[in-house]
Amino acid sequence: MKLINKKVDNYYLDIYYPESIKADKKLPVLYVLDGDAFTQTIAEAVKLQTRNSPKTGVQPMIIVGICYRDQSPFSRDRRFIDYTPAQKKVADPQDIRSQLPAGGGIELFLKVVKLIHQLISDEFSIDSRKVGFYGHSLGGLCVLECLLRKEMSFLTDYLAVSPSLWWDQEAYFEKLNQINGNILRNRRVMISVGSREGDMVPLAKRAASWFQANQFAEKVSFYLAEDENHMSVVFTTISRYLRWFSSNERK
């Protein structure tokens, strides 16, 4: 995979492009949140598995990591701002999560994501039928929030790992009950969570069950990773997500 670096606003892009592909071939594109932490790993998984796509089920694709270039793989303050909607409920002081940053900047961040997508569309030959958005934890919440926004309709596949659906006292589920189902037509959703993630397990199951029961998304998949925790689940599920994203069925 060839690495190309770009910058949009205050965000750095790590773009991995398969070198053996003809320049005019339209490729799926997968945007990766927390790009500093995960992009290289995902790109390596694609590189190795596309050596024998018929066996692995992973097809060539463009990987675009959205990065901060902070000293840490995770920019704690910026990701809390970028990946979360504004909180509308009063936090329970007994909840340890009430001490976390307030967040609430997702609207501005998604405007930048649209600019990033425009840049990628202008400079690369992409398959608009397969545009994925991958996120873990708060990033997973951000991915699922995009399902509720018409302006993010250029996304086709929503890949959420351990989404932080506890945010703002589980306000996401109230939004689901108010959603216009037409927003989700022709969209595909995959949610996974590690079995050792406490209350995040039933929340992830609840979200997946809602999507399945209401039949708004074209395809919905859920995977419970046994014996995995909040971080190990990422590495356990990467190949599963790549196969799912590569598949036309997405079952």
Residue ranges of domains in the chain, CATH in brackets:
2-246 (3.40.50.1820)
Please report the pLDDT score of residue 218 as a whole number: 85
* Cα–Cα distance list, 96 to 101, 180, 247 (Å): 12, 34, 40
Of 134, 125, 129, nearest to 160 by C-alpha is 134
> Which residues of the chain fall short of a pLDDT of 70?
90-99, 180-185, 249-251
Under 8 Å between Cβ of 41 and 231: no
The SS3 assignment for 173 reads helix
Q: In what order do the strands lie in the sheet with 188-194?
A: 2-8, 11-17, 62-67, 27-32, 126-136, 157-161, 188-194, 219-225
Letter for the amino acid at 237? T
Please report the pLDDT score of residue 154 as a whole number: 95
Please report the pLDDT score of residue 97 as a whole number: 67
Under 8 Å between Cβ of 158 and 187: yes
Please report the pLDDT score of residue 182 as a whole number: 61
Contacts 24+ apart (CB under 8 A), 40-44: 40/14, 40/65, 41/235, 41/238, 42/134, 42/238, 42/242, 43/1, 43/3, 43/14, 43/16, 44/1
* pLDDT tens track for 104-132: 999 999 999 999 999 999 999 999 999 99
Letter for the amino acid at 220? V
Please report the pLDDT score of residue 98 as a whole number: 64
Please report the pLDDT score of residue 186 as a whole number: 76
